[in-house]
Amino acid sequence: MAEPTAAVRINPIVCGETVPSRDRTRLDGVDGTPLAEIGTAPRLLAQAAVNRMRRSSGGGAPDPDVFAEAGRLFAAAELDGETPEDYRRRVSAATGAPIGVIDRASEGIRDSLGRTDRLNRAELPQPFAVPGFETRWVPRGSLLAAIVPNNHPEPNVSWVRALSLGYSVLVRPGSRDPFTPRRLMAALLTAGLPPEKASLLPGSHELGEHLLTQTDLGLFYGGPGAVERWRTRGDVLVRGPGRSKALVDAPVTEDLVDDLVDWIADDGGVRCNNISAVLVNGDHTALADQLAESLAKLPLLAPTDPEAVLPAINRDDADAMREYLRNLTEGAVDHSGHHYADGPVTETADGNVLMRPLVVSTDDPSHPLVGTELPFPFVVVAPWREEDGIAPLRDSLVVSVLSEREDLAEALVLEPSVRKVVVGRTRPWTSLPELPHDGSLAGFLMEPKAVVNAVASA
């Protein structure tokens, strides 16, 4: 077991300058260990940062090499006295995510920053140009507010990509993971990002909402309620729960069950593209039993253990989580309960409270539980019939189609509320840099502008 990582002090950073804050809060790990003292940004400081960055915005996008170097530094270098190992342990201890999740996320961030130019070009049409006439893709504004989440480090790549497209960015980190944006900020500044291009402003939800109203565009990650509040705003790109689903319209084999277990529980079930609902053409309760039996075998290890696969929560939240799950699943069939003596919220001998997988089923594919996403391996199994069509599969980041019905897959491709379709036994997060994750980030940040040059066309 690794030695505990010392607590750190995190303050707001405005245009590369650390600004000590008198408003402070302590961040403890899910096991109660002090991890950081956070200096939060009061609204006055946040507004001053907005004003200062707006005055200095412009100047074009930094060289792609800046981001590639920042990615390498983020994954491998000591930054502001923090080693990569310190960073990973802090994020795991703070969020409860298994440390292996953070290891893989660090590699993913490094790889994404190494190809920002490729990612951006893949999401924009090829510009038109003939002598005297051209189309250029330019930023829709100059200042972006990014309200980033706690569930996984990789969404932070989005605000770095905004920097790569020429934006100046104000980041309000998640309350449990200020470590990832802080480390990214240090890596970017060390790699040569102009200091006036970015600020880090820890603070409340109200601070985040203020930033969204003061900048040209916003990038917002949040839960269902917050997403509903912002989704109608054309100047805010909203990223909410994935509600990813799988359709099983094929014989259920042992290998297929193993695949579904992987899709449900990989990375502790905290990803937006983990499967949270399985629709079955056949005996859905039998499949639910098989999934529950397999998922119950996942080991109970502290999140900072390299072999850990399940997330942990704060001990003080355990009773509230038990009550929440009881109320949420009332009326559904619990297929996991008889595998656990104390239910899915499990206290271990070493003092951790782990979230064990929970499999429930319902006879109604339109039941509100279908599509519910929780930050641990949670899945609802329901029946699917041919006459149901794609209706139960709507509102999904990913739909994995285990079926030979080509018309069904094509209907899902054309369905606006489904963001990605995966056909066959392939992990839902399988992708290439040229494929969008959830629509086009560059398409939101950029717009086409016509340039006519009479001199050049003469």
pLDDT at position 223 is 84
- CATH superfamily ID and name for 8-240: Aldehyde Dehydrogenase; Chain A, domain 1 (3.40.605.10)
Reported pTM: 0.93
Closest-CA residue to 66 (of 120, 113, 105): 113
CATH number of 245-423: 3.40.309.10
Phi-psi category of residue 263: left, alpha or beta, with phi > 0 → left and psi -120 to 50 → alpha:
alpha
Tokens 């449990």, located at residue: 176
**Amino acid at the residue 48:** A
* Paired tokens of 165: 């497209």
Q: Kindly report, residue by residue over 405-423, the tens digit of the pLDDT.
A: 999 999 999 999 999 999 9
What burial class does residue 452 get, using C-beta atoms within 10 Å of its C-beta: 0-12 exposed, 13-18 middle, 19+ buried? Answer: exposed
pLDDT at position 217 is 97
Distance in angstroms (rounded) separating the CA atoms of residues 80 and 72: 15
Give the whole-number percent of the chain exceeding pLDDT 70: 98
pLDDT at position 457 is 60
Q: Kindly report, residue by residue over 156-215, the tens digit of the pLDDT.
A: 999 999 999 999 999 999 999 999 999 999 999 999 999 999 999 999 999 999 999 999
Cα 235 vs. chain centroid, distance in angstroms?
Answer: 20
Q: Print burial letters for 13-24: b (CB count within 10 Å at least 16), e (below 16).
A: bbbeeebebeee
For the chain, the domains span: 8-240, 245-423
Regions of the chain with pLDDT less than 50: 1-2
Q: Kindly report, residue by residue over 127-152, the tens digit of the pLDDT.
A: 889 999 999 999 999 999 999 998 89
